[in-house]
Copies of this chain bind each other. A is one copy, B any other.
Amino acid sequence: MKKLINHVDTVLAQSLDGFVAAHADVVTQGADHQFVRRRALKPGKVALISGGGSGHEPLHAGFVGHGMLDAACPGQIFTSPTPDQMLAAAEAVDTGAGVLFIVKNYSGDMMNFQMAAEMLDKANATVIVNDDVAVENSTYTTGRRGVAGTLVVERIVGAAAERGDRLDALKALGDAVNKATASMGVALTSCTVPAAGKPTFQISADEMEMGVGIHGEPGRRRVKLTSADDIAAELTGAVLKDLSLARGQEVILLVNGFGGTPLLELYVMVNAVQKVLAGRGIKAVRHLTGSYVTSLEMAGCSVTVTAADPAMLALWDAPVHTAALRWGM
């Protein structure tokens, strides 16, 4: 295992300390690394809280700030945060308008966020993200997994919360964005969880895992590595099949790297995915390309498409200022 760390037991805490130091203009953190929160809260705004296992950086702490999340609870690597963390975060960032939890559909996260929601003595609701069309049920999941589409949900709902939308409206919007969003990914290499010290899965030098999850969970099938065009056709095809879009539909296209794939290759994928979309008459009117929802140093990428109406696009475009996503301010 080759990593820039000091000890497997201190990776997360030291990474969070570095993150908070680097982005002190935007965030601060709770005691014992329980949560990262927005430095300047907005009174009367519904508080958006997400979280999940670490190892997917910049998700979620990198999306805390104006126009996105109010707090993120980092679990240990690929492990759900605890209800205590979520309750502490809610206490810290609620300003009286209630709390919306945004939760990726993994059994551990679902159980812990649900427990926190039940224990929380404040108005709250939960949006569950399950955008991964690769498989129904998986290693850590009943139903579909929540993956890179979580970013899109957090951004659009975050913008609506910033303008003052109420809890029930945000819950409905979050559900709608999740429904309009589909993703699928491919891995070329495994990743290594520091505490495990060895690769999560074995894969041959000429193979890829089609439909991989963001913890290296198995996807649809293990096949020979093929061309970017073929990979783009399969990923985008699966996503579009799920969404059943009409020709002329406007979409947000997120080509997301898993951590070990350079931008040079991600843009080759953007080019390839664009051709597939154009062939179906789908218009990518907004783009986001980069490693935003990662699996440690795994090589590979995912394709996320959100069918966006003009209201969603306006929210996507609204000012945002987080560590990892920033525009308009």
Contacts and interface: CB of A to CB of B under 8 A. Distances in A.
Given A18-B268, A22-B270, A270-B19, A2 B263 contact: no
Given A21-B270, A287-B21, A264 B6 contact: no
A271 interface: yes
A184 interface: no
Given A5-B228, A22-B255, A57-B264, 15 more contacts: A2-B205, A4-B188, A4-B265, A5-B227, A7-B227, A11-B264, A14-B228, A18-B268, A18-B270, A21-B271, A22-B289, A259-B263, A260-B297, A263-B294, A328-B329
14 contacts: A2-B205, A2-B299, A3-B188, A4-B268, A6-B272, A18-B269, A18-B271, A21-B271, A21-B284, A55-B264, A57-B264, A260-B299, A262-B291, A297-B299
A148 to B, nearest CB: 15
A62 interface: yes
Contacts of A229: 6
B19 A262 contact: no
A171 B263 CA distance: 30
Interface of A: 2-7, 11-12, 14-19, 21-23, 54-55, 57-58, 62, 77, 188-189, 205, 208, 225, 227-229, 231, 255, 259-272, 274, 284, 287, 289, 291, 294, 296-297, 299-301, 326-329
B62 A263 contact: yes
Contacts of A6: 227-229, 268, 272
Question: 7 tightest A-B contacts by CB?
Answer: A18-B271, A18-B270, A18-B267, A22-B287, A57-B263, A4-B265, A15-B267
Given A21-B287, A22-B289, A327-B326, A5 B268 contact: yes
Contacts of A261: 4, 297
A267 B22 contact: yes
A2 B268 contact: no
Nearest to A289: B22
Nearest to A186: B4
Contacts of A12: 264
B205 A271 contact: no
B18 A274 contact: yes
A4 B55 contact: no
Contacts of A77: 264
B15 A265 contact: yes
A2 B188 contact: yes
A205 to B, nearest CB: 7
Given A22-B287, A287-B21, A268 B228 contact: no
Contacts of A297: 260-262, 299
A14 B21 CA distance: 38
A7 B228 CA distance: 9
Task: Give the residue among A205, A267, A289 with the most B Cβ atoms within 10 A.
Answer: A267
A54 B18 contact: no
